[in-house]
Structure 1
């Protein structure tokens, strides 16, 4: 440290009182809210470090895993659907996956539609019904679709029927929450207009709330169908039907060319559904 720098630092320390008087905001103690925020950040950072240590996070293992991943990707090139009969079987599984996603999404939306009105503050019967409806939706939504698939496979056996029930059950909680939030966010002016014209509570919901939320609900349904197409692939691995079952079998028998073909087929299907549903959502919003 140079002599000039030392002299400037000494002068600044000597004039600390003057600096505090001229710049009170800099020397002001941190408010309690800022201290709480810093404490939360420090706790989150400590939890992150502890989690990485406890779960044996290792850059070396990641590097080794990437090397293994590249090896598998090399085995998957080029994609190979195999025999014609196998290709037909894969396409049948894809059609089954789409049917599972469509039926499960539609049934879940139909069941969640009235529950959404019971869970919304502005349309529920009373606070107790609203509270219980929300807790039921939270409980259903707290269980992943894969767990529901394992449950329904145990109940009704292997096959696409269990997949439809798994998607339906999982989406009831999601749709109920989304529908209730859309209902609560609806403009109250339409309801007030119906009420001022002599309409009752049900008339306000039918002619005031419903026309405003139906396009939003339809948009949610289209998005969930797209999402459930991917979910149906995963739950098929546990025996709930669809193309996931074929994918699991090809991975088990190490037929990586067929695995690559199935993965590409799923990606193309999801991309097409995303394109179509996106245009439909924009049309509904417009």
Structure 2
């Protein structure tokens, strides 16, 4: 049987009467939409003017960028001994990202349960934990690196602490949101059998959120491999320290080697992270026997 895709005239009239604001929007709504668009456009133009944006500078800078790229070719670390030093710094960068992310996840995990609405102790504790996470998250990782360098000195230990501190706030927030989004039915089933509060969290909430939390931690590890490069530039160890040094001494061929090493490192970690996240998600969706 063929069905016509067109509505009958009576149905169209009924839709128009029920949703008149969609078919015939008022002038007030149109004016408000136009005003918002005009305000955003004006803000965009003002930002370009206030920040002294210049297309001339961009075009001339592209030419200078081409000269810089030409100076970076061919990639050359200078010596085999220096290349080994770069490899050691690259491994140090990965270690900073791994340890910082792992420590942040271990600390943020219990805070996430305290900050979640369905697993917290009371409203006051939830409010305090939320504000604590907001305060930590409001400070960038680079600033934490500068603070920790002044506390523990230069080196990878400061980098680990910076990554850890910066991620506690964000991971804690993400963990709490994942816990709040957990299905209530398993918890209600445990409550109906007389389960304790701890058993509700252990058997009703935890199995649901663990794959989500594992995926988030893996993503942050992947992201922190780039962040640990940046904080290394300010003295927190890793390959970023060597990158800043080579740029400062205008060793552009060595800079290109470091950039290529960083790109390969990020690509490998990204590929491994995607496979692990897929494995976690597939395992969590596998029906229980």
**CA apart distance, 1:36:** 3.7
Q: Is 1:205 aligned with 2:201?
A: yes
- 1:146-194 deviations in Å (ceiling 9; x for gaps): 1110111111110000000000000001100110110011111110111
Out of 6, 25, 30, the position equivalent to 2:27 is 30
Cα gap change, 1:281 to 1:27, in 2 (>3 Å)? closer
Q: How does 1:244-263 map to 2 (within 5 A)?
A: 244-263=240-259
> Which has the larger displacement, 196-205 or 163-172?
196-205
The TM-score with structure 2 as length reference comes to 0.88
Q: Is 1:119 aligned with 2:134?
A: no
Cα gap change, 1:107 to 1:25, in 2 (>3 Å)? closer
User: What corresponds to 1:173 in structure 2?
Assistant: 169
User: Matches of 1:229 and 1:245 in 2, distance apart?
Assistant: 14
**Structure 1 segments unaligned to the other structure (5+ residues):** 1-22
**CA apart distance, 1:41:** 2.5
User: What corresponds to 1:71 in structure 2?
Assistant: 67
User: What corresponds to 2:272 in structure 1?
Assistant: 276
**CA apart distance, 1:125:** 1.1
User: Matches of 2:32 and 2:112 in 1, distance apart?
Assistant: 37
User: Matches of 2:123 and 2:35 in 1, distance apart?
Assistant: 36
**CA apart distance, 1:25:** 7.9
> Which has the larger displacement, 88-97 or 120-129?
120-129
User: What corresponds to 1:4 in structure 2?
Assistant: none
**CA apart distance, 1:127:** 1.5
User: Matches of 1:239 and 1:59 in 2, distance apart?
Assistant: 34
Q: Is 1:148 aligned with 2:144?
A: yes
User: What corresponds to 2:215 in structure 1?
Assistant: 219
> Which has the larger displacement, 73-82 or 226-235?
73-82
- 1:105-147 deviations in Å (ceiling 9; x for gaps): 0000000001101111111111221122111111111111111
SS in 2 for 1:130: helix
User: Matches of 1:25 and 1:83 in 2, distance apart?
Assistant: 70
**Structure 2 segments unaligned to the other structure (5+ residues):** 1-19, 283-289
User: What corresponds to 1:14 in structure 2?
Assistant: none
RMSD over aligned Cα, in angstroms? 1.6
**CA apart distance, 1:40:** 2.7
User: Matches of 2:137 and 2:204 in 1, distance apart?
Assistant: 29
Q: Is 1:243 aligned with 2:239?
A: yes
Out of 29, 36, 40, the position equivalent to 2:36 is 40
**CA apart distance, 1:27:** 6.8
Out of 72, 83, 88, the position equivalent to 2:79 is 83
User: Matches of 2:25 and 2:243 in 1, distance apart?
Assistant: 63
**CA apart distance, 1:35:** 4.0
**CA apart distance, 1:200:** 1.7
User: Matches of 2:263 and 2:136 in 1, distance apart?
Assistant: 29
